[in-house]
Structure 1
Amino acid sequence: MNRALWDERAPAHAASPDYGLARFVDDPEHLSDVVRFDLPRLGDVSGLRGVHLQCHLGTDTLSLARRGATMTGLDFSAASVEQARRLAAAAGPAVEYVHADVHDAVEVLGAGAFDLVYTGIGALCWLPSVERWAGVVAGLLRPGGRLFLREAHPVLWALDDARDDGVLALRYPYVERVEPDVWDEDGTYVATDVRFTHTRSSTWNHGLGEVVTALLARGLRLTMLQEHDSVPWDALPGLMEDVGGGEKRLREAPWRLPHTYTLQAVKEADPAGVRAG
């Protein structure tokens, strides 16, 4: 169900001005807003072999390649991978894109093959088990390699985003549950006139403690965790304002809400008893 949804939306996302694919072609120095936001935390990635899990159109993947990393992008949507390959061919530098489920990444790409695993905004919510995902991350990283993750905050995912009265009301799960939240929506998060036929999707929230604990259990050492008061889309329509750089923030008293977070963790030398798959 989720794959059909993303396959149908990929061409519309590629055509939308919100992703701005033409800017990557026209300006060889252009970076995605998401990568640019985290440049002070990301540091120097030149010479690193990196993989971007759940890469969608590959704008973040390409941006990391422009910062000097040798990048691979992986996504379960064939349509998304097709669009990402087109962008890389037109804009450069070269990026390898692989069509595969994220849970098969170690088998497909190789164990311990990467210095950097990158995951961007809006990825973890599509996965039913954060513990299983952490195993994939650990399996892909060489000892000393690092995970770099920026995600929507689980508090944000738990809010009732249909309210327009300024009240922040918790409506959906904060913690991971076996059963997903099932949605039926004919739109998407970018500007487009397309109305889609594949409208149903399933998502899961993962509490911040669950994410951290899952990574620690797989032998990763947390080196950074920062919460931010902005998010790169209109997460609460009618309640947010632009703050520049593609970011939006709650207009009234934004300190009430953690919008997103950035996490970094390093894989230690394999400790006894830690599973990596």
Structure 2
Amino acid sequence: MSDYRRLNRANWDDRAPLHAGSHDYAVDSFRADPSFLSDVVRFDLPRLGDIRGLEGVHLQCHIGTDTLSLSRLGATMTGLDFSPASLAEARKLADAASTVIDYVEADVYDAVSVLGGARFDLVYTGIGALCWLPDVHRWAETVAGLLRSGGRLFLREGHPVLWSIDETRTDTLAIGYPYFETPEPSVFTEADTYVDAAGPLTESTTHQWNHGLGEIIEALLQRDLTLTQIVEHHSVPWNALPQRMIAGDDGEWRLAEHPERLPLSYTLQARKR
């Protein structure tokens, strides 16, 4: 296993039980209410449309709250993640919700060989996924390989401009990290995860990459995918810039001042020709 996979997987194994126990992921609400959906999926309901009867795969599914939400909207879902601890939490949640979801442990780049090619009507990738991948072209190749002809990619992600902002600066919005994909990762060591959780991380070092919006779109176009929607948003579903943001009732965070100055996330859809 490459160094970045080993470090990142250990980090996500460490985060998984903390996330499952945090109110941010609302696991108790999923268990108690069979109609409950994650804030992330609920935000994009108008763009998702009717997914009943579709066969879908959620890449980098983590503990499965978005995966379960898509299943509740009527899709037959598979979840894929490289973290066994995350998948253990995802399976527990699906069992508690009496929902059949096939969870598979694999690296995203191995998804086609593990799951089978041209199998899915919907490939879903959610917030905070692409930054863990060093090569966006390999990701686009994976997406294209998984989709049937006419199948759809649905991506909601943190905006690459946001990922380039130095979040430690509270006096101004300052570029502190690469916007474009780079051969070498940005290396971070952070003692805590991004939720209100008890206990620090023991596996605190990660390797991450940014990918420019144009790079993502070009990678998809080169894989016979046709772009059908790109929407940039003023909000993102976590406190990405501490001391600079306010939370809304929809679970989204926005800049407290001048929200028009910074794109925080985007929704992208594409179809396989």
Alignment TM-score, normalising by the size of structure 1: 0.96
Alignment match of 2:133 (pick from 127, 144, 148): 127
Q: What code does the residue aligned with 2:68 have? A: L
Q: Deviations over 1:89-134 (max 9, x none)?
A: 0013211100111111000100000000000000000000000000
For 2:228 and 2:181, the matched residues in 1 are separated by 24
Question: Does 1:194 pair with 2:189?
Answer: no
Identify the residue that residue 255 of structure 2 maps to in structure 1: 250
Identify the residue that residue 3 of structure 2 maps to in structure 1: none
For 1:211 and 1:196, the matched residues in 2 are separated by 31
SS where residue 151 of structure 2 aligns? strand
Contact 1:110-1:140 within 8 A present in 2 as well: yes
Q: Deviations over 1:229-272 (max 9, x none)?
A: 0000000000001122110100000000000000000000xxxx
RMSD: 0.5
Q: Deviations over 1:29-59 (max 9, x none)?
A: 0000000000000000000000000000000
For 2:248 and 2:238, the matched residues in 1 are separated by 11
**Overall identity of the aligned pairs, in %:** 64
- Give the Å deviation of 1:196: 1.5
Question: Does 1:16 pair with 2:17?
Answer: no
Identify the residue that residue 232 of structure 2 maps to in structure 1: 227
Q: What code does the residue aligned with 1:61 have? A: T
Identify the residue that residue 265 of structure 2 maps to in structure 1: 260
- Give the Å deviation of 1:20: 1.0
Aligned positions of 1:65-104 closer than 5 A: 65-104=71-110
- Give the Å deviation of 1:184: 0.6
Contact 1:32-1:59 within 8 A present in 2 as well: yes
For 1:225 and 1:59, the matched residues in 2 are separated by 24
- Give the Å deviation of 1:68: 0.2
Contact 1:62-1:92 within 8 A present in 2 as well: no
Question: Does 1:29 pair with 2:35?
Answer: yes
Question: Does 1:181 pair with 2:151?
Answer: no
- Give the Å deviation of 1:193: 2.1
Count of aligned pairs between the two proteins:
267
Identify the residue that residue 275 of structure 1 maps to in structure 2: none
Identify the residue that residue 52 of structure 2 maps to in structure 1: 46
Structure 2 alignment gaps of length 5 or more? 1-6
Question: Does 1:60 pair with 2:66?
Answer: yes
Alignment TM-score, normalising by the size of structure 2: 0.97
Question: Does 1:110 pair with 2:116?
Answer: yes
